[in-house]
């Protein structure tokens, strides 16, 4: 009985747009949904450091180098904000990392694609960050307070990411024939994966309905995807990139119609068969394992100092 009254109060708060805070009562399913979604979001930011980190040392100018390094650092920061927000739900960061390494937690499949050229730095910033921003802007209004606050901060910081990516693409499209080719190919590589980032059609999304009822999610996958498509196609055309979709067309309402996504590819990468799934987790696990003695040293040192302070 207690539970059903709690549930009523909880839903009333959600309906009144009052944020849920860590100490508030919440249904276990809500908590589990958040842990899954927020940690997946955090892992995506952190794993997302890899395809771009891949090019930091090869950045072709001092300016590009600073920007890329600062950008990848931001991704790490965003992962960190999200890990901390997830921890308010009563789960530790160690646990979250362990689940990632064991394959129990997912991250955005888009990061399982390789970044073979400098133009991929442009395409990732412009398309992948661009898609992420559409989603994150919407999540600023999510019902869980710490998640919402993290999103507000992240959106503020991310605004430069998409611009840096688009700037790289625009510069390449003004450059030599080789550079243009590089840009077009990278665009083709990342176009479909970035559309996949919004997830399956809402009808095929197993957990969509509760997430909407609880206002964890504020807009549907398909709506968000459409917003992204409508913003991005004109940007691509402006700098002379060809949309890798023979059937796309502008509708009278100003929106674009596009071909359907190759969902077999989508599910295949989610299942772990993307080109870089193993590589990404291996690198993360290696860094984590190589860091163990460092973390242990930091713990031991602090304990020693606190002991000394006590006995002094």
Partner 1 sequence: MESNLYKFCLRLADTSFILSYRLGEYVSHGPFLEEDLSITNVGLDLIGQAESLFKYAAEIKGGGITDDDIAYKRDESEYLNFHLVEYPNEDFAFITVRQFFMDVYNYHLFTALKNSSDPTIAAVAAKSIKEVNYHLQRSRKWMLRLGDGTEESHNKIQYAVNELWKYTDELFDMDAIHKSLIEEGVAVDLKEVEKSWIKDVLEALGEATVTKPEHVKHSLVYGKNGGHTDFMGYILTDLQYLTNRYPDAIW
Partner 2 sequence: MSTDNQGPIWEVFVQSKPGKPYKHVGSLHAYDKEMAIENARDLYTRRNEGTGIWLVKAEEIVSVKSGDEESYFEPADDKIYRHPTFYNMPEGSKHI
- For binding to partner 1 (CB under 8 A), which residues are involved? 46, 49-50, 53, 56-58, 60-66, 69-70, 72-73, 76-77, 79-80, 83, 118, 168, 171, 175-176, 178-179, 283, 286-287, 290-301, 304
Give the CA angle between residues 64, 134, 50 to the nearest 5°: 40
Q: Which does 212 bind (CB under 5 to 8 A by kind): partner 1, partner 2, none?
A: none
Residue 64 contact partner, candidates partner 1, partner 2, none, CB within 5 to 8 A by sort of partner: partner 1
Please tell me the distance from the alpha carbon of residue 51 to that of residue 192, in angstroms, as a whole number: 17
Q: What is the DSSP string of 41-74?
A: HHHHHHHTHHHHHTTTTT-SSHHHHHHHHHHHHH
- CB nearer partner 2, residue 96 or residue 281: 96
- Contacts with partner 2, 23-42, as mask; x by CB under 8 A: xxx-----------------
Q: Is 149 in the site for partner 2 (CB under 8 A)?
A: yes
What SS3 state is found at 245?
coil
Per-residue interface string for the shown chain with partner 2, residues 151-190, x marking contact by CB under 8 A: --x---x---------------------------------
| Residue 231 engages partner 2 in binding (rule: CB under 8 A) | no
Among the listed residues 227, 78, 101, 100, the one whose alpha carbon sits nearest the alpha carbon of residue 147: 78
β-strands 249-250, 256-257 pairing: antiparallel
Q: d(Cα 239, Cα 262) in Å, to the nearest integer? A: 26
Binding piece for partner 2, criterion CB under 8 A, among 21-29, 51-59, 191-199, 256-264: 21-29
Q: Shortest Cβ distance from residue 87 to partner 1 (Å)? A: 12
Stretch that binds partner 2, among 117-125, 217-225, 226-234, 289-297 (CB under 8 A): 289-297
Q: Which residues pair with 20 in a beta bridge?
A: 144
Q: At residue 153, what are phi and psi to the nearest 5 degrees?
A: -65, -45
Got the DSSP string for 197-242? TT-S-GGG-TTHHHHHHTTSS-S-HHHHHHHHHHHHHHHHHHTTPP
DSSP state of 124: I
The yes or no reply on residue 65 touching partner 2 (CB under 8 A) is no
Contact (CB, 8 A) for 224 and 198: yes
Q: Out of partner 1, partner 2, none, which partner does residue 290 contact, by CB within 5 to 8 A per kind?
A: partner 1
Stretch that binds partner 2, among 84-92, 103-111, 176-184, 238-246 (CB under 8 A): 84-92
Task: Tell me if 87 contacts partner 2 by CB under 8 A.
Answer: yes
DSSP 8-state secondary structure symbol assigned to residue 114: -
Residue 290 or 311: the one with the smaller Cβ distance to partner 1 is: 290
Q: In the complex, what is the shortest distance from the CB of residue 31 to partner 2, in angstroms, rounded to a whole number?
A: 14
Task: Summarize as ranges the residues that interact with partner 2 (CB under 8 A).
Answer: 23-25, 73, 77, 80-81, 84, 87, 92-94, 149-150, 153, 157, 292, 295-296, 298-302, 305
């Amino acid at each position: 009985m207690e539970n059903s009254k709690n549930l009523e109060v909880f839903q009333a708060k959600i309906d009144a747009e009052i944020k849920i805070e860590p100490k508030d009562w919440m249904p276990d399913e809500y908590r589990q949904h958040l842990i899954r979604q927020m940690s997946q979001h955090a892992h995506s930011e952190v794993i997302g450091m890899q395809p771009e980190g891949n090019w930091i040392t090869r950045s072709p100018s001092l300016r590009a180098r600073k920007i890329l390094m600062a950008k990848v650092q931001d991704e790490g920061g965003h992962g960190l904000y999200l890990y901390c927000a997830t921890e308010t739900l009563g789960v530790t960061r160690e646990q979250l990392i362990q689940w990632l390494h064991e394959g129990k937690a997912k991250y955005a499949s888009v990061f399982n694609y390789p970044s073979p050229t400098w133009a991929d730095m442009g395409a990732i910033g412009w398309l992948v960050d661009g898609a992420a921003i559409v989603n994150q802007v919407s999540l600023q209004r999510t019902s869980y307070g710490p998640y919402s606050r993290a999103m507000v901060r992240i959106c503020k910081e991310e605004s430069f990411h998409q611009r840096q990516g688009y700037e790289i693409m625009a510069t390449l499209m003004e450059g030599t024939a080789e550079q243009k080719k590089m840009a077009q190919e990278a665009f083709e590589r990342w176009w479909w994966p970035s559309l996949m980032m919004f997830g399956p059609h809402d009808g095929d999304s197993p957990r969509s309905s509760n997430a909407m009822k609880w206002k964890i999610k504020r807009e549907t996958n398909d709506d968000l995807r459409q917003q992204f498509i409508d913003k991005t196609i004109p940007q691509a055309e402006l700098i002379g990139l060809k949309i890798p979709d023979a059937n796309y067309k502008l509708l009278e309402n100003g929106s674009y119609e596009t071909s359907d996504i190759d969902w077999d590819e989508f599910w295949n990468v989610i299942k772990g068969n993307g080109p870089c799934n193993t590589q990404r987790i291996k690198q993360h696990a290696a860094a984590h394992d190589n860091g163990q003695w460092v973390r242990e040293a930091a713990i031991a040192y602090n304990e020693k100092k606190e002991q000394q302070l006590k006995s002094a």
